[in-house]
Structure 1
């Protein structure tokens, strides 16, 4: 009793992933009696006792706690409208933008101007997918210079890796700055980041293939 399908293996709906009570179902799988069964197409991911599926494709579904990258597209009296590649714009209110006191009628473009990119966290997703953002927290900031590339949101967990292992590898070997948003936006900055972009595309294409870490190390000159 235990895992029937190994980590990183491909499954389709109805496949039995595990049996017994040693594992708990998370995203993309469900329990039926003593079996954990795949509810969608994806790649098996095991984290301690939790089993989930990483979808091969899919659109981004925002949820509270996600760190995202977005662009300022409008400024109003009470905050900023942020385009994060979702159907709805997100709101970054004045009170959630900074710990600094901002007086009424202040020029908010002094803080975040049109077309600025930011790393923010989703603080709430309300009815109708109304999204509130916050800039209060570790690693949340305005991005300067650099470039933005789009990846499939379903590949973000693989780009980050378990406990940040893959993203740390990418940073260490490329010597570039990297920020990854759960919404499939990746910001990079540094000299000669072409190999880094190539590595990210390899991760996108081959996220389900074993030996990926070694391939990325070789591509970036780590071995």
Structure 2
């Protein structure tokens, strides 16, 4: 079985709210997470584009909704998907007024954007029980539609030892553990995206990634 891969990835535009966003003419995968969870690094790794998503030296500085159009190639079939990078949440140094507008715009986008099919919630593997992440998961569960899916992906798993990784998998059995440094977990994310949006049947998992997920 061949591996799904992204053969095209382009930044299209930034938006402040759902009002100035792109038309809802393509299925979307939304990436959300705390400001320092590594969203930009994850997007760059998944797309194999070094500077597709710009990371800011100051967490919380990227305050716009960023749209990227990508195209998968899998078993000689082409699958177009739009990736949406949401502003990081939970950073206290954003001014109160901006934070109120920011949150209102994001809430409207997350709850009412019809083209969203998959929410990928990036969580820091070193802080798996952060309250703000639990709150976001509970919030999304209140309105998620039958045609939408929520997926937890833990970043920075290379910073855990083998015992800590095993504990994480026990506590979050449906999650994916990912390391941008070791390039592990990415194929599972790709397969989940294709299965959720296009119904591509994935009964097999990449055997190559399992050892690296368990490596000490």
> Which structure carries more relative contact order (alpha carbon 8 Å, separation 6+)?
2
TM-score interval, normalised by the smaller of the two chains: under 0.3
Q: Normalization by structure 2: what TM-score?
A: 0.23
In proportion to residue count, which structure has more helix? 2
Q: Normalization by structure 1: what TM-score?
A: 0.23
In proportion to residue count, which structure has more strand? 1
